[in-house]
Amino acid sequence: MLNDPMVLTPIVAAEPEKRIRDRSATEKAILNAAKALLAEEGFQNFGINAVARRAGCDKQLIYRYYGGLNGLVEAIGADLGTWVKDRIPEDTGGMFLLTYGDLMERLSLLFLEALRDDPLVLRIVAWEVSENTEQVRRLSEARSKALGLWLERMRGSLTPPKGVDAIAVNAILFAAIQHIVLSASAAEQCAGLALKTAKDWEKAATALKRIVRGVYG
């Protein structure tokens, strides 16, 4: 592509930038291209041709190495298992979490932050609520599994207050976070709340904290 102007000087041109024969490197290139593409463009224009173009290789290799798009998506899903480790701290940042409310406040903010700077996972979330294909189901499963593990680990021995359906409440809290970030990513606002500047996000985080504290004390 960069050499396009050379096309008219066919004699000297050459320099085909020989692709070296390295299967595992190519596999990685494909996987990375797919992840980058999904993160940057979303699932709309996500296809064999687009990934191959981005990876700079022939789409045939995607069929050979991953068995097509489905296999590639599955590979992304498997790769996603590392999301938690990479993106969300395992420790509590030196804080002592005395109550379940402390915990959930911290986890909510961590989750918010993590989502905000992981466009790939964010796109997957958008995909999850837009389609219900086998591809998406795989990805979704991988993501929720990773998330569940992280929650489990962070929770430790803390238990929610009696009389509160923590599963339902937390589902709503996390739904809210996901949607806020989704909405911000698409339109820089959500339900009339601007979500552009750091100050905007401060307000959102404060409101979120207030909500968590309201329900968990």
Classify residue 212 by burial, with Cβ atoms within 10 Å: 0-12, 13-18, 19+: buried
Among 49, 82, 132, 189, contact with DNA (rule: CB under 7 A): 49
Query: How far is Cα 168 from Cα 2, in angstroms, rounded to an integer?
Result: 53
| Residue number with CB closer to its own copies (66 or 216) | 216
Classify residue 63 by burial, with Cβ atoms within 10 Å: 0-12, 13-18, 19+: middle
Determine if 178 is a binding residue for its own copies (CB under 8 A): yes
Among 59, 106, 123, 138, contact with DNA (rule: CB under 7 A): 59
Comparing C-alpha atoms, which of 107, 135, 108 is closest to residue 46?
135
Determine if 205 is a binding residue for DNA (CB under 7 A): no
Please, are residues 113 and 87 in contact by the beta-carbon 8 Å criterion?
A: no
| Residue number with CB closer to DNA (103 or 139) | 139
Among 147, 150, 154, 160, contact with its own copies (rule: CB under 8 A): 147
| Residue number with CB closer to its own copies (57 or 87) | 87
Compute CA 138 distance to the chain's CA centroid, rounded to the nearest angstrom. 14
Applying CB under 8 A, which residues contact its own copies?
42-44, 126-132, 136-137, 140, 144, 147-148, 164-165, 167-176, 178-180, 182-183, 185-187, 190-193, 203-204, 206-208, 210-211, 213-216
